[in-house]
Chains A and B, each alone.
Chain A
Amino acid sequence: MSANIYKHKKLIWVFLLPAFLFMLVYLYYPFVQNILNSFQHIKYMGTAGGEWNTPWYVNYTKLLSDVKMRIALKNTVITIAATIIGQVGIALLLSLLVSNIKLGAGFFRTVYFFPIVISATALGLLFNLIFLYDKGMVNQLLQFAGYLDRESNELIDWKSKHAMFTMLTPVIWQYVGFYFVILLTGLSGIPAELYEAATIDGSTKRQMVRYITLPLLRNSIGTCVILAVTGALKVFDLPWTMFVNGMSNTWLTGTYMYSKVYSDVDYASSIAVFIVILGVVLSAAVNRIFRQNDDFEV
């Protein structure tokens, strides 16, 4: 049986067909339909498009002139930059530190990975309390430290004056552990002999990181950056929980699309198409920058 299975190629199609049908029905068909929807007038969510828009591309011209869409795009770019620097950068730093210790490495691995298992909505509610205006944890700590005047109950509205910081802090914090684990796995694949040879040659720790670790981690870092960029384009639940309806101009492409789904279905479809295009373009660009290089593969 085990040998025959490779001779009967048709059998492969039998196994592939269910997955293909599933993808066809639940991914490709809705995707194509969504493109069509973006050119049609749809009165209510879930109802079929009745007629073509006049002109048929009106939603796309609206995208160009929509102030909120511009805000969403700008914030999404900021989010991408923040995730690359914040998530991948911090993860890299932590993984380098943890890879250099033996005692407690397992403990730190678990601690840094832990936020990923918490649902984004729960995290959003948690950080809502942390950044709460009156009696929130951060404001109380700042009053305690004397930065804010406790007598007059001076408070900072984190969701207004520092909205992007408040929104991105939990987003970054949640996924650091994910990239940390990927990079730690990459680090464990670097042969110890290279470091031994470098030590004999009199290299410092910093030189070893600069000339051995980072070049050999290039592919792992590239994978992390691609995941971070595509993840930033999709991020929705945590920002929506904390900043519902784009409060304080914190729209992201995902949250703005969702907000339009109930009031302007076909326009929301055009935003969805735009997100896909943006995702494909950015992924291709990142892929190009971090093109797989066998010379450095670990």
Chain B
Amino acid sequence: MKKKMVLVLAGMMAVSTAFAVPAAADGVTLNVTTTYAGEDSNAQNYKDSVAAWEEETGNKVEDSSATSDEAFKSRIIMDFEAGSEPDVLFFFNGVDANQFVEQGKVVSIDEIREAYPDYAGNMKDDLLGASPVDGVNYSVPVNGYWEGMFVNKQVLEEADVEVPTADMTWDEFLAECEAIKGAGYTPIAASLQEIPHYWFEYAIYNFQSAETHNTVPESVDDEYGQAWVSGLNDIKALYEAGYFPENTLTATDAETFQLFTGDKAAFLIDGSWKIGGIAEAVDDIENFTVVNVPGKGDRKTTDEIGGLSMGYYITRKAWDDEEKRDAAVSFVSFMTSDEVVSKFAGVSATALKEGASPDTSEFNALQIDAIDYTASFTGISPAVQDNLSAAAREPIFADMASIVNGDVDAADAVAAVLEANAE
């Protein structure tokens, strides 16, 4: 009986070991994390490209992509700390990556080029997005982003107001919001509780210019610090005027997005990646457009936020693994090839030497409007929040409810951010 038991247990162990072998039978399995998930416009393109690479190489991808938010960023940092980082990751090239760059857990492009001279050879090196830690390039970007104001035309029509134009002033925008509110609709779809990022950027941009926006203040009293305070107070004014959804301090981003796509809210400030999400959520994409975010002060309405903020990293763990090194380089090279980048780029900028060549014949009405929108830019600045770590951002982003409620003074919140940033 005992012998039988031993045999059974040994058999079970052998079977479980067989199933636990991670690598594909005739290839390598790469663990990959990206932000091409959820409502990202390129979520499907990413799946298709991964499948194409798998078929071409016989390798496999264990994908753990997720929507880009603070939780995603924290998860990546935790994975690195726990030693369970992916082999390849598509991540931010700003301060968010400082921790694992400082710890030498990702491989620089120069080091990769010593073994693979053609690596990222199709990209302009000065646009790759050097790390703030040491000015060295670690990541290979795919496509850039811009942020703009998406508009639900049906809501505007029913509120009897015009679609904002490139010369709309801030005061005219406020007048439109008042009219929309008066007609029984929510003027601005935004979850200040979960995603206050876009409004933070544009609100403080309104007190700066394309040249100065990407500057972290040294103190709350300098001109940049005061711009941040004034911007936050503008968000507070919008909240007090009732232009955000009634539950903006408790709603999720998904809930407010549903207000917008469900013809209950007029405006949504979001990124270029949202085009796909909107197209998927609505029946009539022609009912939606994207326009410049109304500006004031030195910021023209046509000065927008945009840039190349993310790229593919190869981790030191994968690089030091003889089996995975080739596959990781092959994967990143494939995903950043001219053909794939052109497919992902759509209406956004790239770092390609030859430029992207997207197939515009298949563009929907919103994508075509987005081409006009990007053509209107007179100035572009990266998002200044990318210069701050998650910990430094917290006093504003996690506490926006307290700021607009008046529980926390905007100047105190900015001071807390700067203090955390200095640590």
> Could you list which residues of chain A lie within 8 angstroms of chain B, going by C-beta atoms?
44-47, 132-134, 155, 157, 159-160, 163, 244-245, 247-248, 259, 262-264
> Could you list which residues of chain B lie within 8 angstroms of chain A, going by C-beta atoms?
74, 77-78, 80-82, 99, 193-194, 246-247, 249-251, 255, 258-259, 390-391, 394, 398, 401, 420
User: CB distance B420 to A263 under 8 Å?
Assistant: yes
Please name 18 further chain A to chain B contacts, defined as beta carbons within 8 Å, in addition to the given A45-B77, A134-B258, A263-B420, sorted by A numbering.
A44-B77, A44-B81, A45-B78, A47-B81, A133-B250, A133-B251, A133-B255, A134-B259, A157-B246, A157-B247, A160-B250, A245-B398, A247-B193, A247-B249, A247-B401, A259-B398, A262-B74, A264-B391
**In the complex, A264→B394 CA distance in Å?**
11
**In the complex, A163→B390 CA distance in Å?**
26
User: CB distance B250 to A134 under 8 Å?
Assistant: no
Residues of B with C-beta under 8 A to A44: 77, 81, 99
Residues of A with C-beta under 8 A to B250: 133, 157, 159-160, 163, 247-248
**In the complex, A245→B397 CA distance in Å?**
10
**In the complex, A199→B194 CA distance in Å?**
61
Residues of A with C-beta under 8 A to B391: 262-264
User: CB distance B249 to A46 under 8 Å?
Assistant: no
Q: How far is the CB of B257 from chain A (nearest CB, A)?
A: 12
Residues of B with C-beta under 8 A to A134: 247, 255, 258-259
Residue contacts A-B, CB under 8 angstroms, 25 given: A44-B77, A45-B78, A46-B78, A46-B80, A46-B81, A46-B82, A132-B255, A134-B247, A134-B258, A155-B246, A157-B247, A160-B249, A160-B250, A163-B250, A244-B194, A245-B193, A245-B398, A247-B250, A248-B249, A248-B401, A262-B74, A262-B390, A262-B391, A263-B391, A263-B420
**In the complex, A159→B391 CA distance in Å?**
25
Q: How far is the CB of B47 from chain A (nearest CB, A)?
A: 25
Residues of B with C-beta under 8 A to A47: 81
Q: How far is the CB of B83 from chain A (nearest CB, A)?
A: 9
Residues of B with C-beta under 8 A to A263: 390-391, 394, 420
**In the complex, A45→B247 CA distance in Å?**
33
**In the complex, A64→B80 CA distance in Å?**
33
Residues of B with C-beta under 8 A to A245: 193, 398
**In the complex, A45→B258 CA distance in Å?**
35
Q: Dominant SS at the A interface?
A: loop
Q: How far is the CB of B94 from chain A (nearest CB, A)?
A: 16
Residues of B with C-beta under 8 A to A262: 74, 77-78, 390-391
Nearest B residue to A45 via CB reads B81
Nearest B residue to A263 via CB reads B391
Residues of B with C-beta under 8 A to A132: 255
Q: How far is the CB of B46 from chain A (nearest CB, A)?
A: 26
**In the complex, A160→B81 CA distance in Å?**
36
Nearest B residue to A163 via CB reads B250
Q: How far is the CB of A127 from chain B (nearest CB, A)?
A: 13
**In the complex, A132→B250 CA distance in Å?**
10
Q: How far is the CB of B372 from chain A (nearest CB, A)?
A: 33
Q: How far is the CB of B105 from chain A (nearest CB, A)?
A: 12
**In the complex, A264→B81 CA distance in Å?**
15
Residues of B with C-beta under 8 A to A259: 398
User: CB distance B81 to A133 under 8 Å?
Assistant: no
**In the complex, A245→B196 CA distance in Å?**
14
3 closest residue pairs by CB, A with B: A46-B81, A263-B391, A159-B250
Q: How far is the CB of A33 from chain B (nearest CB, A)?
A: 15
Nearest A residue to B82 via CB reads A46
Residues of A with C-beta under 8 A to B193: 245, 247
**In the complex, A47→B246 CA distance in Å?**
42
Nearest B residue to A166 via CB reads B250
**In the complex, A247→B394 CA distance in Å?**
14
Q: How far is the CB of A72 from chain B (nearest CB, A)?
A: 14
Q: How far is the CB of A225 from chain B (nearest CB, A)?
A: 32
Q: How far is the CB of B254 from chain A (nearest CB, A)?
A: 10
Nearest A residue to B391 via CB reads A263
**In the complex, A263→B394 CA distance in Å?**
8
**In the complex, A46→B398 CA distance in Å?**
22
Q: How far is the CB of A62 from chain B (nearest CB, A)?
A: 13
Nearest B residue to A244 via CB reads B194
Q: Which of B77, B250, B259, B401 has the most CB of A within 10 A?
A: B250
Q: How far is the CB of B119 from chain A (nearest CB, A)?
A: 29
**In the complex, A48→B25 CA distance in Å?**
39
User: CB distance B247 to A160 under 8 Å?
Assistant: yes
Q: How far is the CB of A258 from chain B (nearest CB, A)?
A: 10
**In the complex, A115→B298 CA distance in Å?**
58
Residues of A with C-beta under 8 A to B99: 44
Residues of A with C-beta under 8 A to B80: 46
**In the complex, A59→B78 CA distance in Å?**
23
Q: How far is the CB of A250 from chain B (nearest CB, A)?
A: 10
Residues of A with C-beta under 8 A to B74: 262
Residues of B with C-beta under 8 A to A155: 246
User: CB distance B247 to A133 under 8 Å?
Assistant: yes
Q: How far is the CB of A155 from chain B (nearest CB, A)?
A: 7
**In the complex, A259→B259 CA distance in Å?**
29
**In the complex, A44→B103 CA distance in Å?**
11
Residues of A with C-beta under 8 A to B258: 134
Residues of B with C-beta under 8 A to A248: 249-250, 401
Residues of B with C-beta under 8 A to A264: 391
Residues of A with C-beta under 8 A to B401: 247-248
Nearest A residue to B83 via CB reads A46
**In the complex, A47→B77 CA distance in Å?**
11
**In the complex, A62→B258 CA distance in Å?**
41
**In the complex, A163→B251 CA distance in Å?**
13
Given known A-B contacts A259-B398, A263-B391, A159 and B81 have beta carbons under 8 A apart: no
**In the complex, A43→B80 CA distance in Å?**
14
**In the complex, A30→B359 CA distance in Å?**
56
